[in-house]
Structure 1
């Protein structure tokens, strides 16, 4: 009871003996025991059965729970997929709506663009019709004046410029009218059986003179065998050829090559025009045949309608046109036309485009120029040869004229000749006017040259950019010849006043001669007399420092000073002349004499000592030069001051 250990004692009762007196009782007990055992077995079997059912029900319960959880998971995934699909579908619907809006907008823009293009074409057509009558009235008198022999050379050159541009304008008007007819479906073919090989040989003859003049190798490759004949509209095929080869000439540099070839295969004529020109970028290739499209939007060299008209003429013949090109590698235009026949005999073709037309389109107006040493030197930089010739004719009575066709050549000419004035176009190939102006103003030998910019653009941003790059003035196209002459004269006059200021104080002690060009820092109210670039100030300051450092060296000459300043003798001469209006020899002598004069009046040195100190070879030569400059000898000055 207390949980303490105790000694167990087991007593096994002694079995009682079986006898007649207890046999029935034992038998009854045995039967009762057997029955109880049977009942226990039966009860055990029921318990086992109940336990099995319990286990089965438990497993079913857990399985049911797992199934329910699984069903909930599946339902969640299905629901999640449904909502994702719904959101995705809504996003697609929204995207489709945006795409439809963009499509409608694009369609609307295309319609507006088409309407604008049609309006543009209609406007050009109406203007072209309106221009034909006055152009006819202008063309004939100008043509007769161009053939007159009682004009001065300048008048004859100006009339030739006018006659050339009248012809170009007439050709452009005809192109616009033809393209309008094609757009309206009213451009018809007038087929005739022609010998294509003979015709193309005649057309090529018109271009050989221009090719020889520009050192361009122009060649024609013809197929061997029978002549190539077919039914074509000869006038339109000629214009196709003219436009393609004219483009090749416009974009091929001098000393390049242009190759024309044609061949026949499977009743189709293939014409190719290949050049070694600038080429066309991959971005522009897909649009090159679109109307009014220009690959070079910065420096356009045409109206943008020529290739569109070529494509229209080719399609009228049932053919195709294509182009292969790469920048700086040239272009190859390929025209394929079906060959058909309407007669067994060919007719002669009338040549509508003459060598004069080719020269009008591709050549500039030439005139002989004479130079006068008393006139200022003017450099004109413009890629348009007619503008070059026009400005030359307007100003050649007052200036010596040299020209360049792009900024790079303009810099080379400016550096070589150091002109007194530069007239430069803004938009040019190779190098534009802005870059050309900037480089000229940064180069020490040309920084002093005034530059007048010519531009067809009236945007203030472009003018600001030009002035930031050092331009001295702007003149908008179209310009008046009188205004141009006045602006040039004004710039030259300003440069002369600057020369007078530079030459006003040439003492070596006053490298401060340059300071007269800038405000006095001690006096904010002071203003510069005329603007001079810092490069010019630095140039003159270096010149004075070199001369002052070696003043006593009588062997110091112009060549040595120019070499120390990193310039050629001719460049150094023109720079000093442009800045001071003195030649370098005269300026060096004036500076030495001025320094010698200061020594005479402020020191007790002998005349010989002063002569050698200022770089004169002998005292006698110093005395002679001093008397020429001041009207009296150094000794006379000393005697006058001594009194």
Structure 2
């Protein structure tokens, strides 16, 4: 049966009810109430039939139970409507109504939308609802019927009971509707909610009829109210019948405690209200109070049972979770056992079909098995490999030869989930060595663990790399030799001119050139040494005392560290001996110490510590410098590799020194390691075997460190400059961290201007705010903040925003130039630069600044601008509403200055100190800024402002005697003198001329 058919049938029945008075009652002389009962009875039978169909077709147990209880309720209503609908059987009708409510509450509390299986626990809502209905029936019907028959006969208590129970049913249906999570249940419960709500309204209206205050008058509307509950019930039945899909359910645990508390409050509230207001349902007996108290006890018991059930359920769930966790642990153990079984299976651990050579060994390095690829690679049969030590597969000088000799290496492999991969030199049984990549992995087994080694032959790749590297080394060696001749000639000529230099300035220039020439020579020597060590590492080995070898490098670099304002310390014991090539060892220490000092900022610490550990000497070179990032540490010892960190870009280097160190360490069969954290320093550790002490120490060769350190020593340059106030030249601030480049730029600029030097971006910003220079030349790559950040800080600061900036850098790519220009850089000059070009660009910017000063002065001397200056409050109001974004930094500053003077020009305290305090500047900064922008002093600007204001007052006819005080002059005499200096006339002469 479709929903459309049901609606049509219900409409026909409604129409039939609407004509009892007009046609049927007249034609057949049937009483109205009989016709009403007959029509409603037909509707009830129709609804009962639909409920029976829904009961028969329901597949869900809880849904079937819902229709079963609802069917019982409808059958009870139909029987009561046929047999007992008069006042004689009133009490019996009330009992029938009670049972009807019982069935409806049982249907609602079955909660078919929450589960397919009905709840077996009685405390979930059924018992509280049934007890509440029974208590309400006793309170409102039984007791009044026994002790107040007249009140009971009026029907009021019955209607109050009906209203209370119908409201409870409506509430429970609304809760079910809210809990519904699917469209079907929302559509199913919505008509039921309307039905119960209409039934509640009908009972309220009936109570109003008894009290002669009905909500709705008798007639067709009342008959329609009698019909609507069954109409909407039929709609819900059709929705259930027309559903062809599986009815969705939502598992949800009820919380009956709040519901029981609500049911407890209602009777108590009614009882207290009835006693207070002397309502009709209150009888002259204490039994009603006994009923309420008994209900309170029942609610307490029900709530206790509910809490105990919930606690029991929680414990049950915990036990279930524990069982599930135990099952998971068992499965995990089973999985581990299966993995162990797989690893223990040699046929699985050694993949016979693999193209790579695979070996399994014990943790001591004993070979357990080998696959065919390994047999072919090492040219030995499997039974020949089994039982031998894996160390025999590696060359004696390779680091993998020592892997199994140190238990810590095995423990380290055990902790690494992905294993260890290294490149090594493998040794075949015929004595042939070949490069291979060995991947070591830890395999846990039930009896004992093993190590799986996978070998990948790298002979072809290494050969190609070697050829490419040899070609590169040959080219570098050849070109390095070509560099040596011109460098030797240049340095020789410089030495000759140093001896012949007359003045100190010329000698300083030649010394700087000599120092950089030695630096180039050292770089060329390192390239040649690197090429020689790679091709033919011939060493002259002798036994030396470690402290003797370290004396010259430590003393030399101690002087360099002191000059660089670093804390240098060393701890070299006397009883440590080693076998080495003295010059090679000195080169290793030289490069490590040079890097430590180079990359450690002022105030840092450099330490050299040596100590013995078992049979090994450990030399640690520790610094608190900028550190090396994790990504750069893997390649830091490769040729021509430098850290890509931003901080490191400011320090010159091509990555030769550490590559030479690495090659010299390998030539001695030593080991060097690096531990570093970016921004927190580095530690290079050199490990070398201890040698036996000698009675007589070998004579040390001529030390190279002293000459090489001399090329690193730099003279101190003081950046602290004193600026003469009456200096006629312009002041230029140079921000450059390379001291030699500082000196060079200073010599160029001081041909025409005064120069201040700053060694870092931070120091440059401090000097810029302190001295307010006329122009700034800033290097792009600086230690700390770079040139872009310095430029941004300068342009965003009101004090320094007007200063022109020239960016000077070796980075001449378009992207860097555009970035600098976008940050309002006035010029961008690339290194190497032409001296004349730098001076011309500086002079052009200064000339432009002078022209700008003239434009500002002309602008402020115009009469129209003067009027704007002197209109104090109007000018401030107009400027406050203008678009300040249209003004540049200088115009904003002048506007702020103008507003401040216009507001306080009449005060005698207005001076440079007052202006500086209100503009958040020092007097020196304000003096320089106004001088640069307007070409005048603050006091002159204030005086001219007051004179112009006085001229305006004189033009308006004001008294000369009052004008001096009105515009802020301390006396009339001083005012007259200043007025004549500016205008060439006395105030009286000016006023007379204006009057004429």
**TM-score class normalised by the smaller sequence:** 0.7 to 0.9
Q: Deviations over 1:326-348 (max 9, x none)?
A: 12221110111234579763233
The residue correspondences of 1:24-423 to structure 2 (distance < 5 A) are 120-150=472-502, 152-183=503-534, 185-223=535-573, 226=575, 228-296=576-644, 298=646, 299=649, 301=651, 302-340=653-691, 345-355=696-706, 357-364=708-715, 366=717, 373-423=727-777
TM-score where L is the length of structure 2:
0.49
Give 1:628 shift: 1.2
Deviates more, 1:437-446 or 1:172-181: 172-181
Any unmatched runs of 5+ in structure 1?
1-91, 94-103, 515-531
Residue 634 (1) aligns with residue 984 (2): no
**CA, structure 1 residues 447+154, in 2 after alignment: closer, same or farther (shift >3 Å)?**
same
| Counterpart in the other structure of 1:64 | none
Give 1:360 shift: 3.0
Aligned length: 519
* DSSP 3-state at the match of 1:510: helix
Give 1:453 shift: 0.5
| Counterpart in the other structure of 1:65 | none
Give 1:107 shift: 11
* DSSP 3-state at the match of 1:506: helix
CA contact (8 A) 1:319 1:336 kept: yes
Give 1:437 shift: 0.4
Any unmatched runs of 5+ in structure 2?
1-353, 356-455, 870-885
Residue 595 (1) aligns with residue 945 (2): no
CA contact (8 A) 2:522 2:708 kept: no
- Cα distance in 1 for partners of 2:467, 2:786 equals 35
> Whose relative contact order is higher, 1 or 2, with alpha carbons under 8 Å and at least 6 apart?
1
Deviates more, 1:190-199 or 1:424-433: 190-199
Give 1:114 shift: 6.8
The residue correspondences of 1:470-481 to structure 2 (distance < 5 A) are 470-481=824-835
Give 1:436 shift: 0.7
Give 1:355 shift: 4.9
CA contact (8 A) 2:632 2:643 kept: yes
- Cα distance in 2 for partners of 1:367, 1:349 equals 39
**CA, structure 1 residues 364+471, in 2 after alignment: closer, same or farther (shift >3 Å)?**
farther
Give 1:365 shift: 5.9
Q: Deviations over 1:543-573 (max 9, x none)?
A: 0010001121121111111111122222212
Deviates more, 1:201-210 or 1:339-348: 339-348
CA contact (8 A) 2:563 2:716 kept: no
**CA, structure 1 residues 443+397, in 2 after alignment: closer, same or farther (shift >3 Å)?**
same
CA contact (8 A) 1:452 1:471 kept: yes
| Counterpart in the other structure of 1:84 | none
CA contact (8 A) 1:285 1:323 kept: yes
CA contact (8 A) 1:294 1:300 kept: no
CA contact (8 A) 1:506 1:590 kept: no
CA contact (8 A) 1:157 1:367 kept: no
Residue 624 (1) aligns with residue 974 (2): no
Selected match of 2:790 from 436, 439, 454:
436
Give 1:193 shift: 3.3
Deviates more, 1:540-549 or 1:362-371: 362-371
Give 1:166 shift: 0.2
* DSSP 3-state at the match of 2:696: coil
Structure with the bigger percentage of helix: 2
| Counterpart in the other structure of 1:585 | 939
Give 1:432 shift: 0.8
CA contact (8 A) 1:154 1:393 kept: no
Q: Deviations over 1:378-432 (max 9, x none)?
A: 2111221211111012222323222222222221221122111111111223111
| Counterpart in the other structure of 1:73 | none
Give 1:136 shift: 0.6
CA contact (8 A) 2:539 2:581 kept: yes
Selected match of 1:535 from 872, 889, 892:
889
- Cα distance in 2 for partners of 1:108, 1:300 equals 40
CA contact (8 A) 1:407 1:433 kept: yes
CA contact (8 A) 1:191 1:231 kept: yes
Give 1:512 shift: 10
CA contact (8 A) 1:453 1:471 kept: yes
Give 1:506 shift: 3.0
Q: Deviations over 1:333-375 (max 9, x none)?
A: 0111234579763233245345564253253564897865332
* DSSP 3-state at the match of 1:402: strand
- Cα distance in 2 for partners of 1:537, 1:412 equals 24
**CA, structure 1 residues 260+351, in 2 after alignment: closer, same or farther (shift >3 Å)?**
farther
CA contact (8 A) 1:599 1:610 kept: yes
- Cα distance in 2 for partners of 1:463, 1:512 equals 44
Q: Deviations over 1:262-294 (max 9, x none)?
A: 123454332110111111112211111111111
Give 1:461 shift: 1.6
- Cα distance in 1 for partners of 2:935, 2:464 equals 63
- Cα distance in 2 for partners of 1:110, 1:496 equals 67
- Cα distance in 2 for partners of 1:536, 1:109 equals 65
- Cα distance in 1 for partners of 2:689, 2:707 equals 31
| Counterpart in the other structure of 1:606 | 959
CA contact (8 A) 1:318 1:338 kept: no
Q: Deviations over 1:48-85 (max 9, x none)?
A: xxxxxxxxxxxxxxxxxxxxxxxxxxxxxxxxxxxxxx
- Cα distance in 1 for partners of 2:960, 2:974 equals 11
CA contact (8 A) 1:451 1:471 kept: yes
CA contact (8 A) 1:291 1:308 kept: yes
* DSSP 3-state at the match of 1:454: strand
| Counterpart in the other structure of 2:812 | 458
| Counterpart in the other structure of 1:615 | 968
Give 1:113 shift: 7.5
Selected match of 1:449 from 803, 819, 841:
803
Give 1:456 shift: 1.2
The residue correspondences of 1:536-575 to structure 2 (distance < 5 A) are 536-575=890-929
CA contact (8 A) 1:277 1:330 kept: yes
The residue correspondences of 1:506-521 to structure 2 (distance < 5 A) are 506=860, 510=865
- Cα distance in 2 for partners of 1:367, 1:332 equals 32
- Cα distance in 2 for partners of 1:512, 1:237 equals 81
Deviates more, 1:406-415 or 1:111-120: 111-120
CA contact (8 A) 2:540 2:581 kept: yes
- Cα distance in 2 for partners of 1:459, 1:190 equals 48
**CA, structure 1 residues 352+203, in 2 after alignment: closer, same or farther (shift >3 Å)?**
same
- Cα distance in 2 for partners of 1:417, 1:138 equals 41
* DSSP 3-state at the match of 2:712: helix
CA contact (8 A) 2:566 2:602 kept: yes
**CA, structure 1 residues 371+584, in 2 after alignment: closer, same or farther (shift >3 Å)?**
closer
TM-score where L is the length of structure 1:
0.75
CA contact (8 A) 1:377 1:399 kept: yes
